[in-house]
Amino acid sequence: MTDQQPAIRLTGLTKEFGAVTAVDNVDLEIAAGEFFSMLGPSGSGKTTVLRLIAGFEQPTSGTIELFGQDVTKRAPFDRDVNTVFQDYALFPHMSVLENVAYGLRVRGIGRKERNERARRALASVRLEQMAARKPSQLSGGQRQRVALARATVVQPKVLLLDEPLGALDLKLREQMQVELKEIQRDLGITFIFVTHDQEEALTLSDRIAVFNDGRIEQLGTPAELYEHPGSRFVADFVGTSNLLDDAASHELLGRGGLHSVRPEKMTVGGGETGADVHNAPGTVVETIYLGSGIRIVVDLDAGSRVSVLEQNDRHRVHDDERGDRVVVSWHDADVISLATSESVTDAAAAASV
């Protein structure tokens, strides 16, 4: 085994569907054992990259390497990767046990051994008592775990997960996120996780690639992406951002360019002083009670609309009402400078609330 090799290396990967370029010259290396997420809005190409890695699609150009081996031309059944599908794709005519044992069966492993291994895999997702059921008799979360057991029982080097939690309700999703993380740690294999849910990506991943228009917009750890978004798109897509366009930056920061400030880095009340503190007066437009926090939307006199996230803790002294005059404060260190390559004249998008 060559552990120094990246688990996946994509080189100049491009996929065109007719006139549409779904994946546009993507270069990417994913390390062995990494929990890697591909994050982006629908149509950004993340799922196509996954399908290219799995072998369901053939790239228009570029290569895919798996632990240093070029697998670009190989059929899906000839690649050491397995997929957990968005709709799970469990075989409806087979029992849960037969589903999980399928990959072993087609590898010619005897019934006794494969059933034993499938049972162990089912036990690892705590579904051993469901072995005899049909997939249609399971709940969504249980199907999800069967799909996971089915894909991991064959011990792939890389597990691809295509929005596997998308169909689950919130509580179950949070629970499955923890389980996924545990399973990945236990198996020690590379997970490539496709999602459009930025929170999910931030929670689970070692590294994230943010996709936009078939390209990787930014690649980094969750903290890097959140603290230092490289572009307006990333600032906007990963978490919530108060975007300050060129004019607003001049007015509020005293310098030009496109900037972003996270809502939780801003406070309302004007209690802050110091050399690097910016204070901007404004009028409260809306206060939204979130339980653990309170979101206060303020129209600054300088012309921007910002969203401030305050903790719902004992430091909160009074509730701001719609129409109240307030001062919004933030530290200059928390101001993120964004690349100005994109349109900064679009005033309407200056504040993303």
Partner 1 sequence: MRLSRLSRATLGIVTAVILVAVYVPLVVVLVNSFSTSTSLTWPPPGFTFEWWVRAFQSAGAIEAVTTSVQVAIIATVISLVLGTLISLALQRFDFFGRDAISLLVILPIALPGIITGIALNNFFRTIMGVPLSIWTVVIAHATFCIVTVFNNVIARLRRQGTNLEEASADLGAGVWTTFRLVTFPQLRSALLAGGLLAFALSFDEIIVTTFTAGSGVTTLPIFILNNMFRPNQAPIVSVIAVVLVLVSIIPIYIAQRLSGSEQQHR
Min dist CB 35 to partner 1, Å, is 20
Residues 251-280 that bind partner 1 (CB under 8 A): none
Q: Is 150 a residue that touches partner 1 (CB under 8 A)?
A: yes
Helix spans in 272-336 (H): none
The stretch among 86-94, 212-220, 308-316, 331-339 that binds partner 1 (CB under 8 A) is 86-94
Among 36, 102, 211, 330, binds partner 1 (CB under 8 A): 102
Cα 77 to Cα 178: distance, rounded to the nearest angstrom? 30
C-beta of residue 263 within 8 angstroms of C-beta of residue 269: no
Q: Is 83 a residue that touches partner 1 (CB under 8 A)?
A: yes
Residues 47-76 that bind partner 1 (CB under 8 A): 54-56, 75-76
Q: Is 171 a residue that touches partner 1 (CB under 8 A)?
A: no
Length of the chain: 353
Identity of the residue, 53 or 280, whose beta carbon is nearer to partner 1 in the bound complex: 53
Closest CA to 260 of 214, 307, 213, 293: 307
Q: Is 107 a residue that touches partner 1 (CB under 8 A)?
A: yes
Residue 218: Cβ within 10 Å count: 21
Q: Torsions phi, psi of 32, nearest 5?
A: -65, 135
C-beta of residue 242 within 8 angstroms of C-beta of residue 307: yes
Among 85, 166, 179, 285, binds partner 1 (CB under 8 A): 85
Identity of the residue, 54 or 308, whose beta carbon is nearer to partner 1 in the bound complex: 54
Q: Is 93 a residue that touches partner 1 (CB under 8 A)?
A: yes
Which residues 6+ apart lie within 8 Å of 351 measured at CB? 242, 243, 244, 304, 305, 306, 307
Among 61, 68, 73, 91, binds partner 1 (CB under 8 A): 91
Six-digit token pair at 3? 């552990």
Q: Which residues bind partner 1 (CB under 8 A)?
A: 54-56, 75-77, 81-83, 85, 87, 89-93, 102-103, 105-107, 150-151, 154
